[in-house]
């Protein structure tokens, strides 16, 4: 039932950049206030935000693999890019993108800003850790990019499935698989990897990842749904 909540959140106006609503927790309360709603409607679209590490509260709220995803109206995409030359030298880079579903989505922004062009003499291995799976438009962009870029390998790990009961979403996910994209649900170990490599830590201190209570149960739930869709 996550899909219905996410659809409503995606259609809602973007929240103002106030500390209480940056992680999505205050968005729904704002919509109940007529004055706040007017304010939100008049705001311009949010821009794509790029960085190396995302705030702890963003990760804990946006990446949590809940079945009901109310208020999570952003997409967070953490990426690892490895570029291999003919001499087998590998250059690696990493970072994250976030969107507000009001402008370009994070998946499209990745190809527009992080990898806008591909050198045919190089091999690209890209891994995404995304808070939720791609929408139809983003899946289409990924398919087209893979189709014309034979030296690109893409692995997408998602925390949740976006609107997974919708036939057009299911078809889009199958097209991703057919195009050679590897798509799977994030395991608890993957969330820990994101925590260690993409989440802000206190200076001089690295806190251990603390799994939420239903992390394994929700992983198995989404893994079963994805397997049914892709079979």
What are the tens digits of pLDDT across the range 139-173?
999 999 999 999 999 999 999 998 888 999 999 99
* Residue 111, domain member (yes or no): yes
Is 166 one of the catalytic residues? no
Task: Report CA-CA distances (Å) from 53 to 9, 21, 57, 70, 200.
Answer: 24, 19, 12, 24, 5
Structural domain that includes position 139: 47-230
Q: What is the DSSP letter of 33?
A: S
Task: Report CA-CA distances (Å) from 76 to 4, 86, 88, 220.
Answer: 19, 33, 31, 21
| pTM of the shown model | 0.75
Task: Report CA-CA distances (Å) from 42 to 27, 68, 71, 230.
Answer: 15, 28, 20, 41
Tell me the residue length of the chain: 231
Q: For residue 190, name the pLDDT band (cuts at 50, 70, 90).
A: very high
Q: What is the DSSP letter of 166?
A: S
- Residue position matching structure tokens 């195009």: 179
Question: What is the structure's pLDDT at 13?
Answer: 39
Residue 10 above 70 pLDDT?
Answer: no
* Residue 39, domain member (yes or no): no
* Residue 33, domain member (yes or no): no
Q: Closest Cα partner for 48 from 9, 5, 99?
A: 99
Domain count, the chain: 1
Q: What is the DSSP letter of 6?
A: H
Question: What is the structure's pLDDT at 51?
Answer: 65
User: Of the listed 107, 200, 202, 217, which one is catalytic?
Assistant: 107
CATH number, residue 82:
3.40.140.10
Tell me how far the alpha carbon of residue 228 is from its chain's centroid: 21
* Residue 122, domain member (yes or no): yes
Average pLDDT over residues 12-33: 40
């Amino acid at each position: 039932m996550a899909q219905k909540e996410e659809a409503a959140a995606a259609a809602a106006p973007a929240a103002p950049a106030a500390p209480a609503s940056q992680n999505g927790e205050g968005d729904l309360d704002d919509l109940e206030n007529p004055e706040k709603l007017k304010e939100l409607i008049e705001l311009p679209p949010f821009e794509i935000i790029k960085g190396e590490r995302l705030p702890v509260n963003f990760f804990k709220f946006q990446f949590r693999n809940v079945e009901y995803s109310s208020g999570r109206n952003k997409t967070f995409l953490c990426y690892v890019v490895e570029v291999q030359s003919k001499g087998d030298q590998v250059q690696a880079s990493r970072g994250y993108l976030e969107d507000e579903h009001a402008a370009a989505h994070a998946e499209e922004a990745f190809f527009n800003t992080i990898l806008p062009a591909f050198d045919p003499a190089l091999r690209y291995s890209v891994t995404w850790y995304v808070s939720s799976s791609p929408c139809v438009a983003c899946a289409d962009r990924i398919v087209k990019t893979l189709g014309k870029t034979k030296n690109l390998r893409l692995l997408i790990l998602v925390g949740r499935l976006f609107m997974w009961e919708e036939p057009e979403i299911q078809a889009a996910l199958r097209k991703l698989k057919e195009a050679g994209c590897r798509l799977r649900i994030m395991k608890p170990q993957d969330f820990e990897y994101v925590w260690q490599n993409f989440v802000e830590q206190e200076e001089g201190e690295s806190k251990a990842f603390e799994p939420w209570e239903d992390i394994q149960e929700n992983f198995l739930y989404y893994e079963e749904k994805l397997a049914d869709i892709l079979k």
